[in-house]
Amino acid sequence: MGFLDGVKVVDFTHAYAGPFCSLFLADYGAEVIKIERVDGGDQARTWGPFKNDYSAYYASFNRGKKSITLDIKSKEGQKIIYDLIKDADIVCSNFKAGTLEKYGVGYEQMKQVKPDIIYATISGFGTKGELSKYPAYDNVIQAMSGIMDVNGFADKGPTKIGPAIGDSYTGLLLLLGLMIAFHHRQKTGKGQQIDVTMLGALFGLLEYPVLEYANNGKVISRSGNASHYVAPSDVYQTKDDYIAITVKDDSQWKTFCSILGLPDTEEYAINAQRLDNQAELKILIEEKLKDYTSKEAEALFDGSSIAVSSVMGIAESLENPQLLARDMVIEVEDPVMGPVKLVGNPIHLSENKPVTNIPSPTLGEHTDAILQQLGYTEEKISALKEAKVI
């Protein structure tokens, strides 16, 4: 029994941010009805990686959902949406602000039909203000938020965070908003609107650089792998590769010196001294580490309280027994792709297990069934297909 069993979601999301949110709703048992364009559906269906010419990307973020195609620009398409809304609980979208309103299915409009609907939107900049009309994309939001300026090395330009966390992190914030709103509705019977922005989400992750500038006027920019506050905390070259190490205080520093055979001199006894001499320290440390492979270096710290890890590529990470034991790599039997490996759900609850083995829908797979449930006759359905409304 999923804890969202019986909850119906009308899901206008596409690409990454929105689907990442509604994926969790599906995992916990909600009926997620994904509205897709008649002509091709969600753009993520064209995004790699592919297996049997089908998008594993789409499959990963849309497993467990249902797909109905409809033309949101047509009056009849909009009527279907209202038919769906009548007994829905949640609406999600990550269109540019104003898009759903333009098609007559905005929050104010939907509220007329379903007063307690929970209406949740992700956008780049929010529903109000000058920027709300602009298109957003993960790298553009990263640039504007300031996060690109604090990622990467000082001697390189601003650096995009590899994975699109402007999408994923914002998706998770929307999900959190949904959980709060859902709880509020159960308590009070009232629906509400949730408006989460990619810009606000990434800004909210900046931590000390924003606090330092806002309060002390001090600019902190990117510093590569080195910490601004703790030393040594960096990534070091070894005989064969790289290793990440953090020595979190003066007591660990003594341990670190004795393990690596570094002289435990007075000039580096205090964290502030080590911070002031990071470049020299790095040379000393790498001089010692060049005698070991990353794995050998890792083993040196076994049993100490110092946090270390060799830097792993995706291939190695995928074999980590700790991740596999936690079902972070799942195999789903897909009707098009056959067995496909997807990413699991990282939240482990002892009482609420996610359902992760239902494949993603083919485009419009559930159109007929959903419309039949809504009372549409076969003739009507055929006519709508003919007219390319569905």
Which residues, numbered 177-196, are part of the site for a second copy (CB under 8 A)?
177, 179-184, 186-188, 190, 192-196
Binding a second copy by CB under 8 A: which of 154, 162, 189, 263?
162
Active site residue 116: no
Nearer to a second copy, 201 or 370 (CB): 201
Least separation, in Å, of the C-beta of 380 and a second copy? Answer: 34
Per-residue tokens: 108: 């104010």
> What CA–CA distance (Å, rounded) separates 174 from 197?
9
Cβ neighbors of 82 (< 8 A, separation 6 or more) are 105, 110, 113
> Taking CB under 8 A as the rule, does residue 39 contact a second copy?
no
Q: Using CB under 8 A, pick the residue from 76, 83, 212, 368 that binds a second copy.
A: 212
Number of residues that bind a second copy (CB under 8 A): 146
- The 3-state DSSP class for residue 268 equals helix
Structural contact between residues 178 and 91, judged by C-beta atoms closer than 8 angstroms = no
Cα torsion at 63, 67, 73, 78 (round to 10°)? -120
Using the rule CB under 8 A, which residue among 70, 80, 165, 370 binds a second copy?
A: 165
d(CA 80, CA 94): 20
284-343 residues in contact with a second copy (CB under 8 A) are 305-318, 320-323, 325-326, 328-329, 340-343
Cβ of residue 316: shortest distance to a second copy, in angstroms? 7
Output DSSP code: residue 53.
T
The binding track of 50-89 with respect to a second copy, each residue x by CB under 8 A or -, is: xx----xx--x-----------------------------
The strand pair at 192-197 and 233-237 is best described as: unpaired
157 lines the binding site for a second copy (CB under 8 A): yes
Q: Contact at 8 Å (CB) between 135 and 163?
A: no
What is the rounded distance in angstroms from the CA atom of residue 367 to the CA atom of residue 361?
Answer: 11
Helices 278-289 and 250-260: crossing angle in degrees, nearest 10, is 40
Piece of 71-79, 255-263, 345-353, 372-380 that binds a second copy (CB under 8 A) = 345-353
358 binds a second copy (CB under 8 A): no
Listed ranges 76-84, 237-245, 253-261, 277-285: which one lies at the site for a second copy (CB under 8 A)? 237-245
Catalytic-role residue among 167, 195, 291, 368: 167
Which of 113, 176, 259, 355 contacts a second copy by CB under 8 A?
176
Residues in region 245-284 near a second copy by CB under 8 A: 245-246, 248
Distance between CA 323 and CA 9 in Å, rounded? 30
300 vs 294: CA distance, rounded Å = 10
Nearer to a second copy, 232 or 389 (CB): 232
| Phi, then psi, of 104 in degrees rounded to 5 | 80, 15
CB of 356 to a second copy, least distance (A): 12
State the Cα–Cα distance between residues 377 and 368, nearest whole angstrom: 10
As a whole number of angstroms, the distance between CA 152 and CA 224 comes to 5
Q: 97 to 156, contacts with a second copy by CB under 8 A? A: 124-126, 128-132, 134-137, 139-153, 156
Question: Which positions are annotated as active-site residues?
Answer: 167
